[in-house]
Structure 1
Amino acid sequence: MNTPPVRPPPKEPASRGYHHGDLREALLSAAEALLSTEAGQAPGGALAAFSLRDVARQAGVSHAAPYHHFANRDELLAAVAARAFEHLGAAMQAGAAAVASPREQLLAIAEAYVRFARASPARFRLMFGPLLATRAQHPALDQAAGASFAVLLGAAERLDARFALPLALTGWSLAHGLSHLLLDQAFAGLPVELPEPELLVRQLSELVLAGR
């Protein structure tokens, strides 16, 4: 009499994060989703209301799972910020590549910067929050932040190599300051009607370039 083969018991389904095959990616996506909530978008809220336990729950993995890739919350947030800088740099590079002259490239970069900040306010606040002061402790964040600035500096060098650095810093300060003013709704209630943000940053940038 033939004995039927013994089949092993079915395996328990893997948690959602491991099922994707990339736990780190799942954790980063979960962190970005948490940052996009109302609490995460408020000034300081991204850090005040954030824990690895929350990220694990969002990703559908065990509370211990994040520690396979991140020693603590700051390491995870630094990775999120690094990826955000990569996206910002890519957006600025795409804007610059769409036009020919260095002057137009600088204007396109400024527009892309403000557009990114308005589309991703929580990530933008995280990128330039307290973590940035400790970027030397997070090599990926340090590299991504430097690479995004290199896009701006490269366009400034093509326009005027002698004054590339002050030109780039001026443009960055303008776009960054305007982004924060827009996110904080600082212009609300002004007795004048302002143009759309991307047009506004172009107009202000043109004033800077005209007076350089």
Structure 2
Amino acid sequence: MAPRKTEHSSIGMRGEPLRRHVLDAAERLLRQGRADFSMRDLAAEAGVSFATPFNQFGNKAAIMQALSIRRIDTMETRYTAAPPSRDAKTRVLLAIDTAVAVMLENPDVNRTVMGWLGAAQASPGQTLSRSTAFWALALGKGEGLTASRREQALRCLPEQLAFSFRGVLSFWTAGELSDAALAPRARDIASALLLAYLH
């Protein structure tokens, strides 16, 4: 198959713009239902040389990791655009609703991306650290949490929330949790985690 002609030639495109261009092509393939795309397919879709996806990412698992980070970035952007709340619990529940809305916009694509996150890689990805940072943003300064345990909460809860949300997503990805149940289950777990730190 000949490389796809695009108005964004990879000639002169380097670094982050080129990485975004390749990721955009991966997104298009996933939306077309081509979850089994090869790196050759990806290069053709992006209109770049066969080596470019390898040079930019290394392998398909790393591309899926980057697509996962892209989703977390979208969650963060939408969350920060929402009206602020002074209460940490309200903010965390809003973050869950925001994250779930992002995942449900393209559920088939997002299930595919999530399914790849368990694939072994030569070097660790950044999904956990980016997800933890998202939940830390939601917790803010811990307003509304028990003052004597606030410091501990701010140290422990972001990663615990990242683990719990990923756990719920894994059951959703496997088809064991419906789209409609995703937000309620994630809210239940977050509320249980927060309970230990509330007045």
Q: Same fold (TM over 0.5)?
A: yes
From 121, 130, 138, give the equivalent of 2:119.
Answer: 130
In the other structure, the counterpart of 1:117 is 103
Aligned to 1:18, the other structure's residue is in SS state coil
CA contact (8 A) 2:128 2:162 kept: no
In the other structure, the counterpart of 1:174 is 164
From 72, 77, 89, give the equivalent of 1:103.
Answer: 89
CA contact (8 A) 1:30 1:58 kept: yes
Q: Deviations over 1:73-95 (max 9, x none)?
A: 45544544443342344344445
From 26, 33, 40, give the equivalent of 1:31.
Answer: 26
CA distance in 1, matches of 2:93, 2:121: 25
Q: Percent identity?
A: 20
Aligned length: 178
In the other structure, the counterpart of 1:53 is 40
Per-residue deviation, 1:29 = 0.6
Per-residue deviation, 1:185 = 2.4
CA distance in 1, matches of 2:157, 2:182: 21
Deviates more, 1:147-156 or 1:68-77: 68-77
CA RMSD of aligned residues (A): 3.7
Per-residue deviation, 1:32 = 1.7
Q: Which runs of 5+ in 2 are unaligned?
A: none
- Is 1:197 the counterpart of 2:187? The answer is no
Amino acid at match of 2:186: V
Q: Which has the larger radius of gyration?
A: 1
CA contact (8 A) 1:57 1:63 kept: yes
Alpha carbons of structure 1 residues 195 and 203: separation in structure 2 relative to 1, 3 Å? farther
Amino acid at match of 2:38: S
In the other structure, the counterpart of 2:50 is 63
In the other structure, the counterpart of 2:70 is 83
In the other structure, the counterpart of 1:18 is 9
Amino acid at match of 2:25: A
Alpha carbons of structure 1 residues 210 and 122: separation in structure 2 relative to 1, 3 Å? same
